[in-house]
């Protein structure tokens, strides 16, 4: 296995990455009033706190963006919902929460009305396998794609980062970390918690080497990637030694390319 460090601005430019304040460019296609919009996703390997939420808020381009927390993977855990509001408190945002364990009597709007009326959606960590099953049963997966196509910024950490990719590694099943297939908004594979859980890195390498997983992106906790239309536009982190890697197979050997990141606060 080879590790290659790409930390220069020239390399960043070659990867299509924007270093500094977030900027977006429009993709082809129209929505709403006929204006082209970018499809944006902001992920982190773990730890989507105030700094990441604030970064997402800026990506929306709104003065006081409406940000919705979707804690399906954590079974709508109350402690995570409380932490969401605590993380949003220092920011000029309008936070909300949409639980998935609902009833018709307490939920008087459709999923479309809920998720297409906000500017950003942050997905919780937790059990990705259960999250995907519930979203598909409820039709939330379809609505999330429509939201993305309409320019709603999507994001999250752990299960909230893995869910957007074609596939990746999950601890959602008994006994061992395994492969999971997800929504496929982002091409390739993903491994969260790359530096925080001992099984993550060797499992990711083994599955890519065997051909079970496509090449993709591995994120340490507190480090993440901003995607625009499936292109890496920036790498951000809240811890100096947190890193992001592109992991691929070359001549039978795993190669990790470090993507340059900037600190956000």
Q: Which residues are catalytic?
A: 158, 193
Q: Give the residue ranges of DSSP H helices in 61-172.
A: 78-88, 111-115, 128-138, 140-149, 159-162
Nearest to 165 by CA among 175, 154, 174, 176: 154
HSE, side-chain direction, 13 A CA sphere, residue 1: 14
Burial of 222 (0-12, 13-18, 19+ CB in 10 A): buried
- Burial of 129-168, coded b for 16+ CB within 10 Å and e otherwise, reads bbbbebbeeeebbebbeebbeebbbbbbbbbbbbbbbbbb
Beta bridge partners, 255, equal 2, 248
């Amino acid at each position: 296995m080879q590790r290659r460090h790409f930390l220069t601005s020239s390399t960043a430019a070659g990867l299509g990455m924007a270093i500094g304040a977030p900027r977006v460019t429009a993709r082809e296609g129209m929505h709403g009033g006929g204006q082209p919009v970018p499809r944006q996703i902001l992920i982190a390997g773990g730890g989507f706190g105030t700094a990441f939420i604030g970064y997402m808020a800026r990506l929306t381009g709104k003065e006081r963006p409406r940000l919705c927390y979707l804690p399906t993977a954590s079974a709508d855990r109350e402690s995570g919902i409380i932490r969401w509001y605590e993380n949003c408190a220092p920011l000029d945002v309008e936070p909300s929460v949409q639980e998935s364990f609902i009833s018709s009597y307490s939920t008087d709007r459709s999923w479309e009305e809920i998720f297409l009326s906000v500017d950003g959606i942050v997905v919780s960590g937790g059990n990705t396998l259960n999250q995907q099953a519930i979203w598909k049963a409820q039709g939330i997966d379809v609505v999330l794609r429509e939201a993305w196509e309409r320019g709603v910024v999507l994001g999250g950490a752990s299960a909230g980062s893995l869910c957007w990719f074609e596939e990746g590694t999950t601890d959602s099943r008994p006994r061992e970390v395994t492969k999971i297939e997800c929504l496929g908004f982002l091409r390739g594979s993903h491994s969260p918690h790359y530096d925080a859980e001992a099984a993550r890195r060797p499992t990711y390498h083994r599955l890519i080497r065997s051909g079970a997983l496509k090449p993709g992106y591995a994120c340490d906790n507190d480090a993440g990637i901003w995607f625009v239309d499936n292109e890496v536009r920036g790498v951000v982190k809240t811890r100096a030694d947190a890193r992001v890697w592109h992991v691929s197979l070359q001549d039978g050997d795993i190669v990790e390319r470090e993507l340059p990141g900037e600190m956000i606060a």
